[in-house]
Structure 1
Amino acid sequence: MARIGITGHSNLTADTVPLIRAALATALAPHTAEGDLVGLSCLARGADQLFAEAVLDAGGRLEAVLPSADYREAKVRADELERFDRLLLRSAFVRYMPHRSAGKAAYADANEAVLGGIDRLFAVWDGKPAGGRGGTGDAVEAARTRGVPVDVIWPEGAARER
């Protein structure tokens, strides 16, 4: 069984989305042949949701790790609720971190839960250092420190919104 987690940028440009979607499908393909594919995602917009959709499209099981009890209400924008809810409903397992409110501690615990439950990490990452604690770069560093293999996914032409 392959257990793969995701970290990545939430601010992908519209032109980048299909590039990332295709790159994720390609990166997941070797792991679907192994049998059971499980993807762990916090279901944040951008890379997390693209990964969750790619796992489901590949026939894998999705496990959602939500940072707090109020994550949906506090952090999911109105225009993103339908997509978030669809992914949440398709999740085979949903784990909430023991926080009432979303915030740095909740995000840190969610990242820790993802890293502790996987044997590989996909990082939709432009390679730049984190703009603050808890960013994609920090998750990549934490995974590498633990010996978790990291696949950086950043196809030619990919960009982030500024």
Structure 2
Amino acid sequence: MTTIAVTGHIDLTEETVPLVRAALREVLGPYSAGLTGVSCIAAGADSLFAEEVSAMGGRLVVVIPSLDYRDVHVKPQDGPVFDHLCEAAVEVHTLPYESVGRAAYEAANSELLRRADRVVAVWDGAPPSGRGGGTADLVEEARRAGVPVDVVWPDGAARRG
């Protein structure tokens, strides 16, 4: 049994989504028997990863950064996928932060890392933003902790903006 956590960009272009899905299938494939995926199921990389784990028959564990996360952070167009993934999860762990923010995101990253045997990072390699709790931050934490990181950024992938 292998537990893989995800971190990744939320602002993937529409053209990048199928590229990332295919790359995730390839990375997760060897672990499909007995796979547990851990995700905050944010839009973009987190939810794509969670969908692929579920499609492979893996167990999905959801970590929600704060009590108000669904109401404040999840955009209306992303709500149906977020809700579906919560329903599909074998466990939904909501952190005890009243509101979403840097502390909640950093705590969510720590929880992902605490549970993970490996980390998959849908990441363009950009350095940390300095805001804390982002993709690059979790990659750095994982590497410092000796947790293997698989970076997924297929040729042609891009971020919006």
Bucket of the pairwise TM-score, normalised by the shorter protein = over 0.9
CA distance in 2, matches of 1:50, 1:86: 12
Q: Matched residues, percent identical?
A: 52
Partner of 1:150: 149
Partner of residue 133, structure 2: 134
Q: Structure 1 stretches (4+) deviating beyond 4 angstroms? A: none
Gaps of 5+ in 2: none
The answer to whether the aligner puts 1:123 opposite 2:147 as a matched pair is no
Q: Aligned AA for 1:19? A: L
1:3-152, aligned counterparts within 5 Å? 3-32=3-32, 35-132=33-130, 133-152=132-151
What's the TM-score once normalised by structure 2's chain length? 0.97
The TM-score normalised by the length of structure 1 is: 0.97
Unpaired stretches in structure 1, ≥5 consecutive residues:
none
- Distance in 1 (alpha carbons) for counterparts of 2:69 and 2:133: 17
Separation in structure 1 between the aligned mates of residue 137 and residue 73 of structure 2, nearest angstrom: 21
- Equivalent residue pairs, number: 160
Q: RMSD value over aligned CA atoms?
A: 0.7
Cα distance between partner residues in 1 of 2:56 and 2:24: 10
